Amino acid sequence: MFKTRVTELLGVEYPIQCGTMMNLSFAPFVAACANAGIFSCLASANFPDKQSLLDGLKQLRDLTDKPFGVNVSLFPGHDARTVEVTLDILAGEGIKIIETAGRSPEPHLAKIRAMGAVHIHKCARLRDAVKMDKLGVNIVSLVGAECGGHPGMEDVSTLVLIPEATSLIKTPLIAGGGFSDGKTLVAALALGAEGVNMGTRFLNTVECPIHQKSKDKFVAAETTDTMVIQKSIQSPIRVLKNQWAKEIEEMENRGASLEELLPKITSQKARTAWIDGGDEAVFPCGQVVGRTKETLPIKDLVVKIMAEAREVSQRVQGIANA
């Protein structure tokens, strides 16, 4: 059940991706997703050099024999040369699923295709999704404004963006931004998507490598407890509304430069704070944080999502047949 072109291309049981997460998508977390029958990517940006990336891949392969991908960040700070070096390492390791995000992957398409890899590109604007369709990526991943992490500058919600995209493109599409359960999974499929990308929901799982204090903050948060910062530097990011994020917003309102902002927005701060449960960092998370109240092992979460998806599908079918 719930077989789509996305599950076929990725070789996974269920049409769910646990979104790639900087500082969190390390081998044990990714392996727990793979072993639960869903798709997930190791974040290559989490590894500062070739040897640590190779070690991460080895650890992952020791923990699962199920399919997984590797995310190659094209966000600012990852220049074209570094990206090519990373792709060469992944080619050498026989990686068969590559996810890119952050900028057009055009300069790297030849290399990704030569690897024979399934290529997913994640974007946040309709016109980028259409461009990726024309460029021939294998899966387009598209996130709406409510997503955790980078929503893009245009503020279009998932409910509007996804059906617009699926009516324009032929490439299979993974929808992201606001998905957290069986109800929203079925909604995504109804909109024409063939899989969902859930990031925020997976923060609150047993295997997610963050301090319990951080998980407790997410459980306590409401849907209104996120905000978008960094629009002034054209790199918007939806984060938990904490004191740290509010200070960044004030700096941006005062016209602070990128150089002034950098010490506050660096993801190095989050790396430490996720582990020690501290507050002095930017914590990416989506509006759906307010619907994420239960900390579950990933396997149980996936079983629960799929059971609800089946129940909801039958209910809708019942309405259609009435």
Ligand X SMILES: Cc1cc2nc3c(=O)[nH]c(=O)nc-3n(C[C@H](O)[C@H](O)[C@H](O)COP(=O)(O)O)c2cc1C
69 binds ligand X per the rule CB under 6 A: no
Please identify, among the stretches 5-13, 130-138, 140-148, 246-254, the one whose residues bind ligand X according to the rule CB under 6 A: 140-148
Name the phi and psi angles at 48, rounded to 5. Answer: -75, -20
> Quick one: which of 126, 140, 198, 265 contacts ligand X (CB under 6 A)?
198
139 binds ligand X per the rule CB under 6 A: no
100 binds ligand X per the rule CB under 6 A: no
How far apart are CB 142 and ligand X at their closest, in Å?
A: 10
Per the rule left: phi > 0, alpha: psi between -120 and 50, beta: everything else, 104 is beta
138 binds ligand X per the rule CB under 6 A: no
How far apart are CB 84 and ligand X at their closest, in Å?
A: 19
Among 232, 186, 245, 172, CA closest to 6: 172
63 near 27, Cβ under 8 Å?
Answer: yes
6 binds ligand X per the rule CB under 6 A: no
Task: Give 295-311 as a DSSP string.
Answer: -B-HHHHHHHHHHHHHH
Using Cβ positions, the residue closest to ligand X within the complex turns out to be: 199
44 binds ligand X per the rule CB under 6 A: no
Q: Kindly identify the residues of this chain, within the stretch 256-295, that bind ligand X according to CB under 6 A.
A: 284-286, 288
d(CA 9, CA 65): 17
Among residues 125 and 256, whose Cβ is nearest to ligand X? 125
195 binds ligand X per the rule CB under 6 A: no
105 binds ligand X per the rule CB under 6 A: no
Name the phi and psi angles at 40, rounded to 5. Answer: -160, 160
144 near 158, Cβ under 8 Å?
Answer: yes
199 binds ligand X per the rule CB under 6 A: yes
CA distances to 2, 32, 122 from 8, in Å: 11, 20, 18
> Quick one: which of 15, 56, 69, 148 contacts ligand X (CB under 6 A)?
148
Is residue 78 exposed (0-12), middle (13-18) or buried (19+ Cβ within 10 Å)? middle
3 state DSSP class of 49: coil
26 near 46, Cβ under 8 Å?
Answer: yes
How far apart are CB 137 and ligand X at their closest, in Å?
A: 15
Among residues 256 and 280, whose Cβ is nearest to ligand X? 280
Among residues 146 and 181, whose Cβ is nearest to ligand X? 146
How far apart are CB 262 and ligand X at their closest, in Å?
A: 17
Residues that bind ligand X in the complex, under the rule CB under 6 A: 19-22, 24, 43, 73, 101, 122, 143, 146-149, 176-179, 197-201, 203, 284-286, 288
